[in-house]
């Protein structure tokens, strides 16, 4: 079977994972490791007045307790994403006696075993002077402000005159939507294990960004980043909560320093609900004005989100609205309130996911008012250029996505009348939505090493949180070297390797694969030079470009029987390694084109009218994400995004007690996510046309991690409306909102 770019290749790391040999952060066999357990605030706002650790210190196996009263000096890092110093929270852990949210770390207890650490931590008594917290958005409106920018993007903009256009429009829609707080809940909770060797620190981490972890921890501890080694070879999902650097990565290091032994801090599932970010709840108002034929004349999208007292992260709901549809009059605005809840962070398609729930629900409502097919309404308003950036798209096949999706789904058979389609006693609904996510790219580097035994290594300080980076890196190098994937070893998740960006923003593929390819090309070129210079070389007198790599050999292009294996070249030349380096970065193309991925997501739901239960019986998703490197891992991204979208639409909801900020649903029993019984037919398709401008080397892949979730929740909500006639504007769509329909 072909392993070339575009083929369906099984995971390079699959065998290690299914046999339990893949080492996640907490699994590394570090000798003499002690265990840390956090003591967390039980109040949402106030001061710590006393920490009594006397009973903890008597507990068996107790080694140390660290808190604001005895912590070593820590420094706030620069807190700048672009320079890879991005903590999850600006406030440094144990900075002072202030408490800002329930679950904030107030002490760390270290003991010989995990059980002993938990027992000792339970025996720490923390006294507080509590103040009245603001938990619910409506109680924090006095703090509301305009956050201005989000990672360099202006969050507020106006094009044309949306007020006048709205007033004059033939048909208008004005609707408000809400989405709840959500937590990422990756399979693997975050963990950090620290080991000091003199002044050198090794951190076994669960991080989407080894480079960011190294710099941020270095600045926090006030040490040189050269002294820090971050190791994160396997990550059990991240979805954004392992992107920035959260306090545990510093805590393990200072605890290990304090006791002079390695320390492991493995977060509990409950810790994950306050210690590594979440998606803020959102309240969004969308106003649309259209002509009778559906042409949009006005769009206004106002968002109100939450952020924390100790850093700022803004869920940028309206960013996509600036350009998703063609419209001369657009206004997008965001406001944020500060509540006593931990700091939000990116969660799979931050902005797009909740933003498209509002916008794409509103489009569906408008289609109903206009008596227009929802697909037709979107085609009528297709944006041929990016009207916000005023740039042409690098490539865009959204119309094809609608068309292919509609055909595969059978959309033409839809009766637009709500409650018109049934399957026995079940109501059947069909809905759809547009999906989108930017085509981001960052500077990245890789090395390719041809070894003496003819095997090849490809290395980069990128990460694989489950998306398939190990595998796609290998495929790229296999294509260039002609060495089969079995004989190529990828290495990543190590800060000592060539630098790479965060595995976030769906940017890994477009950043790392072109670099890997360049590195492989350079390594082959060097090997060819070595082969030509051998005494009695079969390639003597032949030029470089007459010699091609294929099937594990270098061969003469015009007479393939004249060839040498890689191993022969290495042995005869007495080389131990031939190494190529490659790096790529975004360039002038970014000023010439807008890079954006698109998709169309079609959903069938059945609703049992007696118990108001919604079942997502069928999903068809078609994405234009440039070239597909590996159809298998790309399709898996599609499945996972759709499944996560089912969770977003029907289940996920972090509930805070509005009185005291305690987390009501801080476990996987009360925070529901989809299980196999919730997942039925999912059809993932890709247009698979290379983006001609995304990387100058012509690979043409834009990445596909996040777009896959973006249209799911609105498509489900639209299908629920079609099934029941009830428009649910507040996620998650729960039976109580549908009872009696």
Does the footprint of ligand MOS cover residue 243 (CB under 6 A)? yes
User: Alpha-carbon dihedral of residues 271, 275, 279, 281, nearest 10 degrees?
Assistant: 80
In angstroms, rounded to a whole number, what is the distance separating the alpha carbons of residues 67 and 51? 8
- Contact between 658 and 723 (Cβ < 8 Å): no
Does the footprint of ligand MOS cover residue 238 (CB under 6 A)? yes
Altogether, the residues listed in the chain come to a count of 741
Question: Judged by CB, which is closer to ligand MOS: 238, or 638?
Answer: 238
C-beta of 503: minimal distance to ligand MOS in Å?
7
Residue 276: left (phi > 0), alpha (psi -120 to 50), or beta?
alpha
User: Alpha-carbon dihedral of residues 8, 624, 673, 278, nearest 10 degrees?
Assistant: 120
Question: Judged by CB, which is closer to ligand MOS: 347, or 427?
Answer: 347
Question: Judged by CB, which is closer to ligand MOS: 273, or 409?
Answer: 273
- Contact between 288 and 330 (Cβ < 8 Å): no
C-beta of 502: minimal distance to ligand MOS in Å?
7
Question: Judged by CB, which is closer to ligand MOS: 266, or 506?
Answer: 506
C-beta of 181: minimal distance to ligand MOS in Å?
15
- Contact between 421 and 723 (Cβ < 8 Å): yes
> How many Å from the N-terminal Cα to the C-terminal Cα in the chain?
52
Q: Which stretch binds ligand MOS (CB under 6 A): 82-90, 237-245, 538-546, 707-715?
A: 237-245
C-beta of 77: minimal distance to ligand MOS in Å?
20
The greatest distance separating any two alpha carbons of the chain, rounded to the nearest whole angstrom, comes to 87
Does the footprint of ligand MOS cover residue 512 (CB under 6 A)? no
Does the footprint of ligand MOS cover residue 493 (CB under 6 A)? no
Question: Judged by CB, which is closer to ligand MOS: 318, or 429?
Answer: 318
Closest CA to 660 of 66, 9, 41: 41
Question: Judged by CB, which is closer to ligand MOS: 116, or 596?
Answer: 596
The footprint of ligand MOS on this chain (CB under 6 A) covers a number of residues equal to 11
Residue for token pair 């006030």: 222
C-beta of 80: minimal distance to ligand MOS in Å?
17
Phi and psi torsions of 202, nearest 5°:
-110, 130
| Contact map string, positions 151 to 190, toward ligand MOS, x by CB under 6 A | ----------------------------------------
Burial-class residue 80 by CB neighbours within 10 Å (0-12, 13-18, 19+). Answer: exposed
Catalytic annotation present for 706 = yes
| Contact map string, positions 318 to 347, toward ligand MOS, x by CB under 6 A | ----------------------------xx
- Contact between 655 and 723 (Cβ < 8 Å): no
Which of 504, 549, 582, 714: binder of ligand MOS (CB under 6 A)?
504
| Contact map string, positions 109 to 128, toward ligand MOS, x by CB under 6 A | --------------------
Question: Judged by CB, which is closer to ligand MOS: 712, or 719?
Answer: 712
Does the footprint of ligand MOS cover residue 643 (CB under 6 A)? no
Which of 505, 549, 580, 703: binder of ligand MOS (CB under 6 A)?
505
In angstroms, rounded to a whole number, what is the distance separating the alpha carbons of residues 208 and 444? 14
* Contacts with 88 (C-beta within 8 Å, 6 or more apart), sequence order: 244, 245, 246, 247, 276, 277, 311, 343, 345
Residue 252 token pair = 């393990």
Does the footprint of ligand MOS cover residue 244 (CB under 6 A)? no
Does the footprint of ligand MOS cover residue 240 (CB under 6 A)? yes
Q: At 631, which helix (H) or strand (E)? A: helix 631-650
In angstroms, rounded to a whole number, what is the distance separating the alpha carbons of residues 76 and 99? 17
Question: Judged by CB, which is closer to ligand MOS: 313, or 393?
Answer: 313
C-beta of 227: minimal distance to ligand MOS in Å?
27
Does the footprint of ligand MOS cover residue 438 (CB under 6 A)? no
In angstroms, rounded to a whole number, what is the distance separating the alpha carbons of residues 506 and 575? 38
Which of 208, 284, 472, 724: binder of ligand MOS (CB under 6 A)?
208
C-beta of 316: minimal distance to ligand MOS in Å?
12
Q: β-strand 34-40 against 263-266: which pairing, if any?
A: parallel
* Binding footprint of ligand MOS on the chain (CB under 6 A): 208, 238-240, 243, 346-348, 350, 504-505
Catalytic residue annotation: 706
């Amino acid at each position: 079977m072909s392993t070339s770019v575009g083929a369906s290749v099984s995971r390079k790391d699959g065998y290690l994972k299914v046999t339990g040999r893949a080492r996640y952060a907490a699994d590394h066999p570090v000798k003499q490791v002690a265990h840390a357990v956090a003591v967390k605030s039980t109040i949402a706002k106030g001061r710590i007045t006393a920490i009594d650790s006397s009973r903890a210190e008597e507990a068996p196996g107790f080694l140390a307790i660290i808190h604001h009263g005895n912590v070593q000096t820590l420094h706030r890092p620069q807190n700048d994403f672009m320079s890879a110093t991005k903590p999850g929270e600006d406030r440094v852990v144990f900075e002072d006696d202030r408490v800002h949210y329930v679950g904030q770390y107030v002490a760390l207890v270290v003991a010989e075993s995990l059980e002993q650490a938990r027992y000792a931590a339970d025996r720490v008594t923390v006294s507080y002077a509590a103040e009245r917290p603001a938990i619910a958005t409506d109680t924090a409106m006095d703090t509301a402000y305009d956050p201005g920018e989000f990672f360099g993007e202006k969050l507020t903009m106006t094009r044309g005159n949306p007020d006048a256009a709205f007033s004059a429009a033939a048909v208008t829609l004005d609707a408000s939507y809400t989405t709840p707080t959500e937590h990422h809940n990756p399979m693997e909770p975050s963990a950090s294990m620290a080991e000091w060797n003199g002044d050198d620190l090794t951190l076994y981490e669960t991080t989407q960004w080894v480079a960011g972890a190294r710099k941020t921890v270095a600045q926090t501890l006030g040490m040189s980043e050269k002294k820090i080694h971050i190791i994160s070879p396997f990550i059990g999902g991240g979805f954004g909560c392992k992107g920035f650097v959260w306090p545990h990565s510093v805590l393990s290091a200072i605890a290990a320093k304090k006791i002079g032994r390695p320390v492991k801090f493995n977060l509990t599932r409950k810790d994950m609900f306050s210690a590594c970010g979440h998606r803020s709840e959102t309240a969004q108002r969308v106003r649309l004005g259209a002509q009778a034929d559906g042409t949009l004349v006005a769009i206004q999208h106002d968002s109100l989100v939450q952020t924390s007292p100790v850093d700022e992260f803004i869920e940028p709901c309206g960013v996509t609205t600036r350009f998703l549809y063609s419209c001369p009059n657009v206004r997008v605005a965001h406001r944020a309130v500060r509540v006593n809840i931990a700091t939000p962070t990116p969660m799979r398609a931050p902005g797009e996911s909740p933003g498209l729930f509002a916008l794409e629900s509103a489009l569906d409502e408008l289609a109903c008012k206009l008596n227009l097919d929802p697909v037709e309404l979107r085609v009528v308003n297709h944006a041929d250029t990016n009207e916000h950036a005023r740039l042409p798209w690098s490539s865009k096949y959204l119309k094809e996505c609608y068309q292919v999706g509609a055909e595969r789904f059978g959309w033409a058979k839809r009766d637009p009348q709500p409650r018109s389609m049934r399957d026995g006693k079940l109501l059947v609904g069909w809905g759809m939505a547009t999906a989108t996510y930017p085509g981001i790219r960052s500077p990245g580097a890789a090395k390719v090493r041809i070894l003496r035994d003819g095997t090849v290594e490809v290395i980069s300080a990128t990460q694989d949180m489950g998306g398939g980076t190990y595998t796609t890196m290998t495929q790229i190098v296999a294509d260039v070297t002609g060495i089969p994937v079995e004989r190529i070893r990828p290495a990543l998740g190590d800060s000592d390797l060539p630098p790479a960006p965060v595995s976030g923003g769906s940017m890994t593929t477009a950043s790392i694969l072109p670099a890997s390819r360049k590195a492989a090309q350079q390594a082959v070129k060097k090997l060819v030079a070595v082969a030509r210079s051998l005494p009695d070389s079969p390639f003597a007198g032949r030029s470089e470009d007459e010699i091609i790599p294929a099937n594990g050999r270098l061969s003469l292009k015009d007479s393939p029987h004249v060839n040498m294996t890689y191993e022969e070249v290495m042995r005869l030349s007495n080389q131990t390694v031939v190494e190529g380096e490659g790096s790529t970065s975004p360039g002038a193309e970014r000023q010439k084109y807008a890079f954006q991925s698109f998709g169309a997501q079609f959903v069938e739901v059945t609703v049992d009218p007696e118990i108001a239960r919604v079942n997502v019986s069928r999903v068809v998703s078609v994405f234009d994400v440039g070239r597909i490197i590996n159809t298998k891992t790309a399709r898996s991204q599609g499945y996972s995004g759709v499944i996560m979208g089912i969770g977003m639409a029907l289940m996920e909801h972090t509930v805070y007690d509005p009185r005291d900020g305690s987390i009501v649903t801080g476990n996987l029993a009360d925070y529901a996510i989809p299980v196999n019984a919730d997942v039925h037919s999912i059809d993932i398709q890709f247009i698979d046309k290379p983006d001609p401008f995304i990387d100058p080397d012509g690979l043409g892949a834009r990445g596909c991690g996040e777009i896959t979730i973006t249209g799911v929740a609105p498509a489900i909500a639209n299908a629920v409306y079609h099934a029941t006639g009830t428009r649910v504007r507040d996620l998650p769509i729960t039976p109580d909102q549908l009872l009696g329909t």
